[in-house]
Amino acid sequence: MSDEAIGYDAAHIKVLEWPEAVRRRPGMYIGSTDERGLHQLVLEVADRAVNEAVSGRAGSVGVTLLADGGVRVTDDGPGVPFAAAGDTEGPGLEALLTELSFGARPGDRRAVNLTRFGLGPAVANALSSRLTAEVRRAGVRRVQECARGVAVTPPTAAGPAPGSGTTLTFRPDAVLFATTECSFAVLAERFRELAFLNRGLDISLTDERPADGPQTARFRFLGGVRDFVLSLPARAGTPVHTDVIGFEREDPRMAGTMEVALRWCGSPEERIRGFANSVATPYGGTHEAGLRAGVAAALDAYARGRGLPAAEAPGLDGERVAAGLTAVVSVKLDDPEFVGATHGELGNAAVRACVGEAVGEHLGAWLEENPEQATAVVDRILGADALG
């Protein structure tokens, strides 16, 4: 068919400007306009504050679900300047609220990624009926109001400010969202995960909506993923042994770090949780494959070294050792590679070998040092008759 017959030329192309580009297709930026997308909007705003805390620039982060349907995210960092303040501090708050290109942090394993595509507060600004930015910096409090992505007031001095920090308060636009009621339980679970995965992160969630008064949950775990694993067996059965086996290691071959903790429980249920740069990987990936391979290798070597399984028995494989296994494997990489756009599966090839090797070494040493508990674990997997 000829171009003349189609009747299509440059005049038919419409370039959507900010913020219409986001408001016209919100699902492209936050995944959906249902409750999942609403929670993602909260994470887009919390991303900057959490990274301030993880980097040591802030001591704590607070998220509040307001009685009027709004959400407030605050931190006690140095306060983001409204205008850019040099290379060391990055873009100013006005740019963060109105430009989509400032959220990405490539090549930084220390960064916590809560955003869907690295877009941050700008997405929340565009998809909110109202957003108020408040900065406490250098002894002065400044405020700016935005409506549906557009500033309606300039940054205005609003008096002296004790301390410092940044507060963003936004109200998701009811015109765009199927619901504007965030779930306290869903957000609490995500922030709890973040606190486990980022040792020392202090984050609280407050809900001011209940008629019988506000409820608050505060999350801060000094034990990292060890504490994470300890929180899981209550839903997975009685532990076969009391110790949590855990370690941390940096490996330049995968350009990143790993933190692993595991134990076996009496339930046949497998509970392996994988994370890459603090993002859950529900479809697994190379870090989980490495964990299984390392566990299988260590247990097989230990059992065979003591003549536990019959000589002709097949080796312990990843599927067999995972029965009753409760584990968390968290990797933080300079350049994570995910399979697919949803980031649900990690694809970095080097990670499998690095995690497998480290797990094999640490678990093997633990088995040698704890023979009674080691025997209980092997007995759990092979069966008492195979040990007889």
Residue 11 has pLDDT above 60, yes or no: no
pLDDT at 19: 87
Location of each CATH 3.30.565.10 domain in the chain? 20-219
- E strands in 138-185: 140-147, 150-151, 156-160, 165-172
How far is Cα 153 from Cα 143, in angstroms, rounded to an integer?
9
Reported as a single tens digit per residue, the pLDDT across 68-123 is 999 999 999 999 988 765 544 556 888 889 887 644 455 678 889 888 777 889 99
| Whether the Cβ atoms of residue 124 and residue 44 lie closer than 8 Å to each other | yes
Report the pLDDT value the prediction gives residue 311, as an integer from 0 to 100.
Answer: 39
What's phi and psi for 319, nearest 5 deg? -70, -40
Q: Given a cut of 70, is residue 172 above it in pLDDT? A: yes
Pick from 84-88, 140-144, 181-185, 206-210: least confident: 84-88
pLDDT, residue 10, reads: 56
Alpha helices in the chain (DSSP H): 3-6, 20-24, 27-30, 35-54, 93-98, 121-126, 184-197, 225-231, 286-305, 318-321, 349-369, 371-382, 384-387
pLDDT higher than threshold 90 for residue 320: no
Q: What is the mean predicted confidence (pLDDT) over 34-44?
A: 96
* pLDDT level of residue 292 (50, 70, 90 thresholds): very high
Res. 279: pLDDT tops 50: yes
* Fold assignment, 20-219: Heat Shock Protein 90 (3.30.565)
Taking residue 204's Cβ as centre, other Cβ atoms within 10 Å add up to 18
For 313-375, give the DSSP string: SPPP-HHHHTTTEEEEEEEEESS--BSSTT--SB--HHHHHHHHHHHHHHHHHHHHH-HHHHH
- The pLDDT of 266-294, averaged and rounded, is 92
pLDDT in tens, 19-28: 888 999 999 8
Asked if 109 and 257 touch (Cβ cutoff 8 Å), the reply is yes
**Mean model confidence pLDDT for the chain:** 87
- pLDDT tens for 355-365 read 999 999 999 99
CATH of span 225-387: 3.30.230.10
Query: Tell me, what's the pLDDT at 340?
Result: 78
d(CA 359, CA 287): 11
Q: Give me the percent of the chain exceeding a pLDDT of 90.
A: 64
CATH 3.30.230.10 domain extents, the chain: 225-387
- Rounded to 5 degrees, φ, ψ at 300 are -65, -45
Residue type, 384: A
Confirm if 330 and 259 have CB atoms less than 8 A apart.
yes
Residues 6 or more apart in contact with residue 28 via CB below 8 angstroms: none
Q: What is the pTM of this model?
A: 0.88
User: Helix, strand, or coil here: 288?
Assistant: helix
Range 8-32 average pLDDT: 77
The answer to whether the CB of 94 falls within 8 A of the CB of 151 is yes
